[in-house]
């Protein structure tokens, strides 16, 4: 299990092929975290890691290529199979 080393981050939500995605970037890291939002309620969010199964992170050079990699990966076996449940305290 990975725990962020910061309490501050920037996050974005976007849609790709009708599905909601959450992108987060901790303020003290150069790494981005990508999640598919599987379910969202008032107190709980269920997500799945977004694996880039086609070209991987190296194929991402812009927002457009990221969306393209996600679209291709969504059609591949093994994509978005593990979930994480986030709860509001």
Domain boundaries, the chain: 9-87
**Residue from 82, 83, 89, 88 nearest 39 by CA:** 83
Tell me the CA distances in angstroms from 83 to 6, 30, 37, one per residue in order: 22, 24, 9
* pTM for the full predicted model: 0.74
pLDDT of residue 20: 93
Closest Cα to residue 11, out of 27, 26, 24?
A: 24
Q: How many Å apart are CA 6 and CA 8, to the nearest integer?
A: 5
Is the confidence at residue 4, as pLDDT, over 70? no
76 pLDDT tier (thresholds 50, 70, 90)? very high
Contact 80, 74 (CB under 8 A): yes
pLDDT in tens, 7-52: 788 998 989 889 999 988 888 888 778 899 999 999 999 999 888 8
Question: Which DSSP category does 58 fall into?
Answer: G
């Amino acid at each position: 299990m990975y725990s962020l080393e910061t309490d501050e981050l920037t996050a974005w939500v976007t849609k790709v092929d009708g599905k909601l995605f959450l992108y987060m970037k901790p303020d003290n890291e150069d790494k981005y975290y990508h999640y598919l939002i599987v379910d969202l309620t008032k107190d709980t969010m269920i997500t799945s890691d977004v694996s880039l199964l086609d070209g991987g992170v190296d194929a991402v050079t812009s927002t457009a290529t990221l969306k393209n990699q996600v679209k291709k990966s969504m059609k591949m076996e093994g994509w978005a199979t593990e979930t994480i449940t986030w709860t509001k305290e």
